[in-house]
Amino acid sequence: ISAYNGSIKLPDMWSDVQSFKDSVQKIRYDNHYREIRDHQANVDFVKGTTSFLSDSTLEVSGEQSFTASSGNIVIGTGADPFIPDLPGSSLALTSDNIFAYKSSIGQLPGSIILIGGGYISIEIADMLAPFGIELTIIQSHDRLLPGMDKAISDEALRLMSGKHVSVIFNGKVKEISKSGKMKIVKLMDGDEEKILSAEEVVMATGRRPHIKGIGLEKTTVKTLNNSIVVDSHMRTSRQNIFATGDVIGRSMLFHAAVKESVIAARNIEGKQNYVMNFSAIPFTLFSYPELGSVGYTEADVINMGIDYEVVSQSLEGDAQSQIFRQRDGWFKIVIEKDGGRILGFQTFAHDGADLVAYFTAAIENGMTAKALAMSCEPHPTTFEAIPSSLRKYL
């Protein structure tokens, strides 16, 4: 955007961004419908709502209304944006208003307050900062991305600071109100009360599994912390009922739901015993550069009592990072000291998602540092830095 500030009107660019987003989402939805059509011989697709009548019977209401019984049932009801119970919360937007198909933000606001310091807030701020919007993140914790490795959290803060996004830590929002065209946020910053104003407020406080209204109380399926409890085979407490995706409250990401669903389907077939490895679910924050992680962090392995070592690698000397002018990138690899098994990986890089995918396969398949050190990666790609960083294991 900065390269074209003199010749492009930002509101027009925002309209183009939304149109492009919608066009891609339309392609994706068409793909999903085509997948259903490709399996029409074995799949009946019904638009409507469903509620359990028992552990084996469902009531369906919609284009068709009927009851259905099955030997196996999979629950995949997803999650909804979590809206804290505070005065004026209905005035706030959610990520759905920004990213959903045909989303409702037609014009760019001049200022936005983002409540929450997780990946949703950071991705929104990173996307909107180049448009010159005044952005403020209110985080209730003492750092961004509190569930991630601290190096990732620190890098996220540096990224936000570099893009002139204000961040308030340990902020407790008390109330949202409206005054004219502005929305007012009252919060406690430590012992001090603060009042902030912006044209829009976005509630980015996470998502909550959707378990209400589906009749779970009529089943023997157990829940915990508003999530359906499953084992590593994706089975619930009821042998014939499986649950996958956001509704289980773990690794609430699209790709995790896909893998969990494959595990459930194969176990329903009963041909082989498939197990879900939750530690091999990759996380990527699509800022630029990208932040990513898969497997265990240093804090995780310390808590688990595992003897480990870390290989840290700067990407300053990496050829592709130099080409993309992103020489401040890095990655670190958490390695089991006894045996050299790859346990975890974290990165900040222009192609962080690709690097995380590489290590997802390594962790899923129990690969060792020596095996990766022997790999030959194409030049010029960031992957070259992986065997280079691990040569001491040869």
Q: What is the pLDDT of residues 103-136, one digit of tens each?
A: 767 788 999 999 999 999 999 999 999 999 999 9
Mean pLDDT over 128-151 rounds to: 95
Name the domain boundary from 172, 205, 238: 205
Q: What is the CATH number of the domain that holds 336?
A: 3.30.390.30
Quick check: 80 and 208 in contact, CB under 8 A?
Answer: yes
- pLDDT, tens digit, for every residue of 301-313? 999 999 999 999 9
Residues 90 and 132 in one domain: yes
- pLDDT, tens digit, for every residue of 244-253? 999 999 999 9
Calpha distance 232→243 (Å, rounded): 11
- pLDDT, tens digit, for every residue of 201-211? 999 999 999 99
The tokens of 66 are what?
């009927």
Calpha distance 133→131 (Å, rounded): 6
Give the HSE-up count for residue 154: Cα atoms under 13 Å, Cβ half-sphere.
Answer: 6
Mean pLDDT over 298-324 rounds to: 96
The tokens of 35 are what?
């997948």
Backbone angles phi, psi at 267, to 5 degrees: -70, -30
Residues 72 and 212 in one domain: yes
Residues 363 and 353 in one domain: yes
Cis preceding-peptide flag for 109 (omega within 30 of 0): no
The model's confidence at residue 101, banded by pLDDT at 50, 70 and 90, is confident
Q: What is the CATH number of the domain that holds 53?
A: 3.50.50.60
What's the pTM value of the predicted model, to 2 decimals? 0.90
- pLDDT, tens digit, for every residue of 13-56? 888 888 899 999 999 999 988 888 887 778 888 889 999 999 99
Residues 363 and 294 in one domain: yes
- pLDDT, tens digit, for every residue of 357-382? 999 999 999 999 999 999 999 999 99
Residues 66 and 176 in one domain: no
User: Could you tell me if residue 31 is inside a domain?
Assistant: no
User: Could you tell me if residue 263 is inside a domain?
Assistant: yes
Taking each helix axis from N to C end, the angle separating 150-162 and 119-128, rounded to the nearest 10 degrees, works out to 20
Specify the pLDDT at position 104: 67
Residues 218 and 309 in one domain: no
Calpha distance 348→128 (Å, rounded): 20
Specify the pLDDT at position 6: 54
Count of structural domains within the chain? 3
- pLDDT, tens digit, for every residue of 223-233? 999 999 999 99
Residue 9 confidence (pLDDT) above 80? no
Residues 104 and 183 in one domain: yes
Mean pLDDT over 262-287 rounds to: 93
User: Could you tell me if residue 369 is inside a domain?
Assistant: yes
